[in-house]
Structure 1
Amino acid sequence: GGRLGRGDQWMSWIHLDDLIRAALFIGSGDHLESGPWNGVAPHPVTNAEFTQGLARAVHRPAWFAVPRFGLRIALGEMAEFLVASTRLEPKALREAGFEFEHPRLAEALDDLLAGERRPTSRTSRA
């Protein structure tokens, strides 16, 4: 795999556990009227940074880039969603006191993929 287009487009992301915790946090107190709530991690990354981080986490190279025109040929108008830049930050969550367990991409990917790396044995399964 590789970056999409130039790779300089911003991507907001969030670890699934933090998204669930944020939803529970918002619903459990007097926070509902403090929004708008952006369910994103506090450190957005570019597409190139995301691609390199994912490649590192899965121990695979990310040498190739998919050019914008290739995306348009394959996906038509949907390609614009992949190369559009969106940089959101969780301002209301942070101001309300929410603390992220996985604020940075590298650690979040490592956590999400940790179960995939654990060796399993057929004899250990019940």
Structure 2
Amino acid sequence: MAGDGLIVRIQSADLVFIDRGSEHGISRDDLFDIVSSEMLVHPLSDSILAVTPKTVGALQVLQVYERTSLARLVQLDRGEDPMLKPIALARDADRIAEIEKLMIRGVRLAAGMDVSRRVAIIPGL
């Protein structure tokens, strides 16, 4: 899961900017995993035995500019700070389907909370 960019700005509770845009081949509705590193540390020597990527969230690109894009946080694990987290384009069909289910669930939750459909689809409006 190599990094395809970084989250470089938190615009609001659910909107972020990433450092990839049209010049990097990014398109509206692209889906990305938000990645963190998980370290395996030896319990006696405190030496790092392994560092493995761990998916901690997902985002969907809403607007694409030349060198940056605005994206909506679809999911983020509790306690994770998205700022400067690496992102990786979601390529696996199962993972894409999982992210799409999260997106649908988010719209339904917003609709159930008496929020207009427009705000439910595009948070921050």
Greater length-normalized contact order (CA 8 Å, ≥ 6 residues apart)? 1
Could you say which structure has the higher strand fraction? 2
Q: Same fold (TM over 0.5)?
A: no
**TM interval, short-chain normalised:** under 0.3
Structure 1 length as normaliser, TM-score?
0.26
Rg (Cα) greater in structure = 1
TM-score normalised according to structure 2 size: 0.26
